[in-house]
């Protein structure tokens, strides 16, 4: 089996797994308790917070543990909004974890303003700046897109947000652990992350909240996370998350070089076979995220055909009961329909090899040349 859907989730790093084991089997005390048995859990939380903060250029007291990216996005937008009668500015290609929160806030009376993107899935900066005004509470633009990998020029918007008294939030779920991030140098106020995107466990993440920023609690109950996020801390997963992120940060540069070589090889295979396709996204993108659209084919069928050959990829479209639908991201990028329907996302990770890439390319070419990939047949 070749796993090439790392933008969806990643394999748990073995060192991260080993780091979490003691807190499942031996040192399982509740970190909120005062007795000595819980002291190791308390120390582990403190160390994990410090490690994560160091990886993104933050202070430890600015890291708040959550259940993942979706909760972090919800908390940032709901907890950070100060005036529901004002407006929120977001890009039109945000993850549903942001867009659906905005939909609910819109129903509650908040105006939502959407930033358009160009053909590469990159926000139109001048338009974005024109949407921000003194009534803007939050500007939320993802650091890297989950479908096509494009990295957004968020630093160009942060100054505009702050000039107008607005907070700046970024959904960095696809970016943390994959590209360098320094929240202080960039001027970010709120940042969302999810461990399972960078070889940590599922069900754990964090929200960076700039020191001094007043944010409302999203989950209430006990006094955990400085009285801002209630619930018994998932110590084992938090420890594993910190370890996984620390490891990924150390290998960032080597990973970027390796992924660049892999993408070049994959595209060469398709080009040599004279496949009619286009690559989606900008040149400045998350390493390993390769979104390709193949003319006059159906991505959903390609996905299933590849699956039968033991290759796991994702599609750039969502399938309903009637027909394949073009994803909203590709629509906003104005990808031509004859290509958009045939979109698949190949997202490579640390464990993928040059042989994996060669196999993916050759199998994909073979499937396309067989025909019957545009009529819904698996």
CA 249 to CA 289: how far, in whole Å? 18
92, 312, 319, 374: the active-site residue: 319
Closest CA to 209 of 62, 109, 353: 62
Contacts of 113 (CB under 8 A, 6+ apart): 87, 88, 89, 90, 131, 136
CA 94 to CA 82: how far, in whole Å? 21
Q: Is 319 a catalytic residue?
A: yes
CA 296 to CA 37: how far, in whole Å? 63
CA 314 to CA 303: how far, in whole Å? 7
Contacts of 34 (CB under 8 A, 6+ apart): none
Parallel, antiparallel, or unpaired for β 87-91 and 136-140?
Answer: parallel
Are 291 and 144 contacting, i.e. CB atoms less than 8 angstroms apart? no
User: What does the angle CA 316 – CA 319 – CA 325 come to, to the nearest 5 degrees?
Assistant: 65
CA 205 to CA 196: how far, in whole Å? 8
SS3 category, 44: helix
Instruction: Identify the sign of the CA torsion 331, 70, 54, 137.
Output: positive
Tokens of 261: 């070589």
Active-site amino acid positions: 319
């Amino acid at each position: 089996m070749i796993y090439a859907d790392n933008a969806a989730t990643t394999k748990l790093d073995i060192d991260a797994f080993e780091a979490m084991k003691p807190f499942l089997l031996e040192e399982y005390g509740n970190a909120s308790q005062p007795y000595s048995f819980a002291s190791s859990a308390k120390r582990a939380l403190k160390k994990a917070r410090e490690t994560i903060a160091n990886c993104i250029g933050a202070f430890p007291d600015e890291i708040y543990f959550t259940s993942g990216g979706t909760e972090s996005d919800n908390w940032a937008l709901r907890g950070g909004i100060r005036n529901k009668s004002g407006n929120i500015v977001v890009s039109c290609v945000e993850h549903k974890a942001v867009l659906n929160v905005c939909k609910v806030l819109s129903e509650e009376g908040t105006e939502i303003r959407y930033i358009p993107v160009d053909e590469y899935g990159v926000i139109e900066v001048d338009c974005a700046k024109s949407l921000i005004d003194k009534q803007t509470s939050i500007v939320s633009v993802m650091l890297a897109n989950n479908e096509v990998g494009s990295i957004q020029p968020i630093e160009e918007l942060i100054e505009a947000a702050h000039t107008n008294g607005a907070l700046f939030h970024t959904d960095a779920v696809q970016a943390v652990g994959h590209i360098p991030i320094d929240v202080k140098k960039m001027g970010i106020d709120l940042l969302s992350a999810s461990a399972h995107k960078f070889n940590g466990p599922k069900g754990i993440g964090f929200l960076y909240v700039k020191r001094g920023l007043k944010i409302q609690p999203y989950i209430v109950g006990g006094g955990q996370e400085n009285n801002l996020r209630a619930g018994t801390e998932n110590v084992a997963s938090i420890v594993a998350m910190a370890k996984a992120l620390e490891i990924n940060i150390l290998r960032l540069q080597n990973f970027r070089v390796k992924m660049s070589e892999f993408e070049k090889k994959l595209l060469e295979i398709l080009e040599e076979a004279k496949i009619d396709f286009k690559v989606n996204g900008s040149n400045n993108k998350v390493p390993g995220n390769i979104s390709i659209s193949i003319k006059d084919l159906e991505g959903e069928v390609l996905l299933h055909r590849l699956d039968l050959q033991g290759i796991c990829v994702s599609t750039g479209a969502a399938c309903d009961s009637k027909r394949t639908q073009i994803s909203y991201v590709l629509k906003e990028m104005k990808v031509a329909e004859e290509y958009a329907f045939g979109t698949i996302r190949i997202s490579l990770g640390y464990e993928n090899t040059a042989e994996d890439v060669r196999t993916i390319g050759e199998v994909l070419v073979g499937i396309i040349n067989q025909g019957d990939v545009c009529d819904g047949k698996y």
